[in-house]
Amino acid sequence: GENVEQHPSTLSVQEGDSAVIKCTYSDSASNYFPWYKQELGKRPQLIIDIRSNVGEKKDQRIAVTLNKTAKHFSLHITETQPEDSAVYFCAVKRDFGNEKLTFGTGTRLTIIP
């Protein structure tokens, strides 16, 4: 089955600095790569996603980059703010007929004021 590795497991950055979280995957047929943010005691929420025909996608301060050849993708958060503190999960999925997300193990991001 699919294997997704996520690094680092914990990350602390100064407010205003950038944060980068990386995931690698094993299944070359994976075609959909979302990132979820989970605040303490809450449900995971989709924050950004990318498909394999796109190399980069941005939404304000967050961006996701994909390298399908190397089978890795990354979440970039710029100008970090205290409200960015949360656990972030990457995930992968094939298209159609296999509608299951496989998640990474999560990264606890702490923004230091």
Partner 1 sequence: DAGITQSPRHKVTETGTPVTLRCHQTENHRYMYWYRQDPGHGLRLIHYSYGVKDTDKGEVSDGYSVSRSKTEDFLLTLESATSSQTSVYFCASLRVGGDGYTFGSGTRLTVV
| Interaction of residue 73 with partner 1, rule CB under 8 A | no
Kindly tell me which of 17 and 58 has the beta carbon lying closer to partner 1.
58
CA distance 113 to 100: 37
Q: Distances from the Cα of 33 to the Cαs of 79, 98, 101, 102, 108, in angstroms?
A: 23, 14, 9, 10, 19
CB of 99 to partner 1, least distance (A): 5
Q: Write the binding mask 84 to 113 for partner 1: x where contact by CB under 8 A, - elsewhere.
A: -----x---x-----xxxxxxxx-------
Cα-flanking dihedrals φ and ψ of residue 51, to 5°? -110, 160
Kindly tell me which of 106 and 111 has the beta carbon lying closer to partner 1.
106
Among 27, 32, 68, 94, binds partner 1 (CB under 8 A): 32
The one segment of 14-22, 45-53, 54-62, 72-80 that binds partner 1 by CB under 8 A: 45-53
Query: Within the chain, what is the greatest distance between any pair of CA atoms?
Result: 45
User: Strand 56-59 vs strand 107-112: parallel, antiparallel, or unpaired?
Assistant: unpaired
CA distance 30 to 2: 9
> What are the residues binding partner 1 (CB under 8 A)?
1, 6, 9, 32, 34, 42-46, 49, 89, 93, 99-106
